[in-house]
A = this chain, B = another copy of it.
C-alpha cells in the first residue's frame, strides 16, 4: 500500500496511481487531523472524495506519529497529550477520539489506537506498553462499533468501514502471543502486526512475524505495518501476510534511490551521467519505457521536482510488481488471498 501521508502519495497524481494498479493507499490520521482537519474532511464528504480517490483507503490511528514526532508527549491510561509539530498547539488523543477522527475521515479501514513500543524495550516496559495497547484496543473497538455508521458517505453495499486491531508486545514472542489471542477474542475485521521496523535487526522482525502470523485468523486480512525492502515484502507475502505499507519506495525515490531487478541504484552517481539505458532494463513501467538513467540523474542534479515524481513512479511500479507476481504465483484456491481481495474491494 503506497503511503499518502497528507492525502497525497508524495509527488504522484492519483490517475498515475491508478495506472500503476494501486488498489489501496494510506492516509495518516495525525497529519490529516492537524491539517486540513478531520471535521473539514467530514464536511466535504470524507477522504475519498476530498483527495479524489474512489478506491480503497486505510487510515492509521495517529498513534505512531504521536509517539515518533512528539518528544514531549504525556501518556496516561486515558490517552496521550501531545503538541502539534506544526504550531506547538496542545492536543489529546484517546482511543475514542482516534476512532472519531478516523470515522470523520471515512476510510474503508481504520486502525485501533495503540502504543508503538520502542526498541529496545526491557520486559517490564514492553509489558506495561502492551497492557495499554490491549486496553485501548478494547475501547477502540467498542467505540468503533457504536459509531461506525457515522461515516460521511452513503454505504449502499452495506460493507461499511472496518476496524483492525494491532498486535504489539515488543520483541517478546510470549507477549506477542498474549496480545494476538486477546485481539482475536475481540473479533476485529482484520489484524495488524505493529511495532516492527523500529530499529531492530531484520532477523528479529522476521521472527516476530513468523511467531505471530499463525495466531491470526487466515480468513481475515493480516497486515504488517511499516515494511519494507523489496526482498522483505516478497518474503512476508509468501509467509501469508496480506497487506503491508511503507514510505520506503516513495521516500527513497525522492532521495534518488531506485529499486530495480538488478538491485538498488543510486541515480545520483556520476556513472549514470551519460547512461542512456532505462532505470531498470527488466521494468516496463511508464518511466522505464520513456526515460534514461542520464535524464533521471540530470533531474536530481538540477534539483528538479520532476525527479521525485519519476523516481517515485518507478519505485511504486517495482513494489506493486512484486506483489502482483506473488499474487499470480498463489493458487486461486488459496482462501487467504480471496479474503484479502474481498476486503480491498473499492467502494462504489
Chain A interface residues (CB < 8 Å from chain B) = 6-8, 10-15, 31, 35-36, 40, 43-45, 49-52, 273-274, 276, 286, 290-292, 294-295, 298-299, 301-302, 304-306, 308-310
Give the distance in Å from the alpha carbon of A51 to the alpha carbon of B7 in the complex.
30
User: A302 to B44, Cβ gap below 8 A?
Assistant: no
Residues on B with C-beta less than 8 A from A308 are: 305
User: A50 to B294, Cβ gap below 8 A?
Assistant: yes
User: A40 to B305, Cβ gap below 8 A?
Assistant: no
Of B11, B292, B298, B304, the contact of A10 (CB 8 Å cutoff): B304
Of B8, B14, B43, B299, the contact of A8 (CB 8 Å cutoff): B299
Of B11, B295, B302, the contact of A35 (CB 8 Å cutoff): B302
Copies in the complex: 2
Residues on B with C-beta less than 8 A from A31 are: 302
User: A298 to B36, Cβ gap below 8 A?
Assistant: yes
User: B306 to A13, Cβ gap below 8 A?
Assistant: yes
Residues on B with C-beta less than 8 A from A302 are: 6-8, 31, 35
User: A305 to B294, Cβ gap below 8 A?
Assistant: no
Known contacts A14-B290, A294-B44; is-contact A8 B306 (Cβ 8 Å): yes
7 examples of A-B residue contacts, CB within 8 angstroms: A15-B290, A35-B302, A36-B273, A40-B274, A44-B274, A52-B292, A305-B309
Residues on B with C-beta less than 8 A from A7 are: 295, 298-299, 302
Residues on B with C-beta less than 8 A from A290 are: 14-15, 52
User: B309 to A11, Cβ gap below 8 A?
Assistant: yes
Of B6, B44, B298, B309, the contact of A13 (CB 8 Å cutoff): B309
